[in-house]
């Protein structure tokens, strides 16, 4: 009796083991596509690793430069990584630049303000437009959208001069609005938002309408909460454009100039400003990168619908 049960147990254990092996086997096969060679995979990964290093090197170098104390910055032969990393350069930005005519914090505030207001307005205005373009069929809608896609095909430089004349006529030159308001109408945001909203099921909107919601309610209550990934995408593109905006042609009073402009001035300030220049460079580049890191999966979700049909 006991013997039999022992054997049974053994058999059960064996069976389990076999099953496990089978599952493992299955997984292995499913993960690797059958028509791939292992050698090719390894070569590709090595190649990718090398390219990734090349791509990342300038950024890593910029960061480590900002962490170097001043004597290390001028060391010869130069070293890539800081040996005694400090935050001195960053505090210098606020301390020494704090005594200058326009303080560093002012430049920072200008850029933050422009970026924040511009992005918020762009998000609201472009989403409203994208919503009706994606979900309603009305005369002129398609033609307008085509026009927007054409607008993505040329650089902002083409419109720079008439824009200047127009903003001048409006009396907005040398105010924040000269940068903020044109940013509201960036075609990229509307395009991505519209493409993403087309993926929303129309039945959702119809159901809300039957329940008695008007268009505004549908927009704020149903559509916007459902397209959060697209928000992040709009935000990253808008922030990236505004944060890096030099605005040298639209703004000439020193106290309204942006961070990128300050960066250029600090860099042209010569050897004495080397450390601070490196620090500003990091401040300028780190913000868009951090936003991207935190919103990557949402952005990729949006970009899946970014295709230009027909």
Partner 1 sequence: MKDYFNKYIELRRHNIQVAVRKAKSRKMCYLFLAPYAILFTMFFVFPVVASIYYSFTYYNILEPPRFIGLRNYINLILQDDIFLIGVKNTMLIAVITGPLGYILSFLFAWLINELPRWIRSIAVIVFYAPSIAGNCYVIFSVFFRGDAYGYVNALLMNVGIIDTPKLWLIDPNYMLPICMIVILWMSLGTGFLSFVAGLQGVDRAQFEAGYMDGVKNRWQELWYITLPNMKPMLMFGAVMSITQAFGVADVTMALCGYPSTDYAARTIVTHLFDYGFSRFEMGYACAIATILFLMMILCNKAIQSLLRRVGT
Residues 280-299 that bind partner 1 (CB under 8 A): 281, 284-285, 288-289, 292-293, 296-297, 299
Binding mask 236-265 for partner 1 (x = CB under 8 A): xx--x--xx----x----------x--xx-
CA 284 vs. chain centroid, Å, equals 14
CA 275 vs. chain centroid, Å, equals 27
Lookup: tokens for 278: 């490196």
Binding mask 155-184 for partner 1 (x = CB under 8 A): xxxxxxxxxxxx--------------xx-x
Stretch that binds partner 1, among 16-24, 56-64, 99-107, 200-208 (CB under 8 A): 56-64
CA distance 172 to 250: 9
Q: How is residue 273 annotated by DSSP?
A: G
Q: What's the min distance (Å) between Cβ of 126 and partner 1?
A: 6
Cβ-Cβ contacts under 8 Å for 49 (sequence gap 6 or more): none
- Closer Cβ to partner 1, 1 or 143, answer by number: 143
- Residues 81-120 contacting partner 1, CB under 8 A: none
- Closer Cβ to partner 1, 196 or 256, answer by number: 196
Size, binding site for partner 1 by CB under 8 A: 93
Q: What is the secondary structure of 44-58 as a DSSP string?
A: HHHHHHHHHHHHHHH
Place of tokens 């960061």: 63
Q: Which of 243, 219, 230 is nearest to 117 (CA)?
A: 243
Q: What 3-state DSSP class applies to 268?
A: coil
Stretch that binds partner 1, among 3-11, 81-89, 95-103, 122-130 (CB under 8 A): 122-130
Q: What's the min distance (Å) between Cβ of 203 and partner 1?
A: 19
Lookup: tokens for 100: 């200058």
Q: Is 76 in the site for partner 1 (CB under 8 A)?
A: yes
- Closer Cβ to partner 1, 77 or 201, answer by number: 77
Q: Is 267 in the site for partner 1 (CB under 8 A)?
A: yes
Q: Is 126 in the site for partner 1 (CB under 8 A)?
A: yes
Q: Is 207 in the site for partner 1 (CB under 8 A)?
A: no
Using CB under 8 A, pick the residue from 93, 97, 117, 188 that binds partner 1: 188
Estimate the share of the chain in helix, then strand, then coil, as percent rounded to the nearest 5. Answer: 75, 0, 25
Place of tokens 């697209």: 230
Using CB under 8 A, pick the residue from 11, 42, 87, 150 that binds partner 1: 150
CA distance 166 to 185: 15
Q: Is 230 in the site for partner 1 (CB under 8 A)?
A: no
Using CB under 8 A, pick the residue from 24, 50, 81, 136 that binds partner 1: 136
Assess contact for 178 and 250: CB atoms under 8 A.
yes
How many residues are listed for the chain in this entry? 310
What Cα–Cα distance (Å) separates residue 41 from each residue in 26, 35, 253?
20, 11, 56
Using CB under 8 A, pick the residue from 187, 209, 226, 265 that binds partner 1: 187
């Amino acid at each position: 009796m006991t013997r039999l049960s022992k054997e049974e147990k053994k058999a059960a254990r064996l069976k389990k083991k076999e099953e496990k092996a089978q599952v493992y086997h299955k997984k292995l096969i499913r993960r690797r596509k059958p028509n791939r060679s292992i050698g090719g995979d390894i070569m590709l990964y090595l190649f990718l690793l090398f390219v990734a290093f090349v791509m990342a090197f300038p950024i890593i170098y910029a960061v480590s430069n900002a962490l170097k104390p001043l004597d290390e910055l001028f060391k010869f032969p130069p070293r890539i990584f800081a040996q005694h990393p400090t935050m001195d350069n960053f505090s210098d930005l606020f301390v020494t630049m704090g005594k200058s005519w326009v303080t560093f914090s002012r430049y920072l505030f200008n850029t933050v303000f422009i970026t924040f207001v511009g992005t918020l307005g762009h998000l609201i205005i472009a989403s409203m437009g994208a919503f009706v373009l994606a979900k309603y069929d009305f005369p002129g809608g398609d033609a307008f959208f085509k026009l927007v896609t054409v607008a993505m095909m040329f650089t902002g430089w083409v419109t720079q001069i008439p824009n200047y004349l127009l903003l001048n006529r409006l009396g907005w030159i040398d105010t924040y609005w000269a940068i903020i308001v044109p940013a509201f109408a960036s075609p990229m945001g509307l395009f991505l938002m519209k493409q993403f909203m087309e993926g929303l099921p129309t039945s959702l909107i119809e159901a809300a309408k039957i329940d008695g919601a008007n268009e505004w309610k549908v927009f704020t209550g149903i559509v916007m909460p459902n397209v959060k990934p697209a928000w992040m995408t709009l935000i990253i593109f808008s922030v990236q454009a505004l944060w890096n905006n030099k605005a040298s042609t639209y703004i000439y009073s020193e106290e309204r100039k942006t961070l990128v402009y300050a960066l250029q001035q600090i860099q042209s300030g010569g050897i004495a400003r080397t450390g601070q220049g490196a620090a500003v460079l990091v401040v300028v580049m780190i913000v868009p990168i951090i936003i991207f890191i935190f919103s990557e999966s949402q952005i990729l979700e949006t970009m899946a619908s970014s295709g230009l049909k027909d």
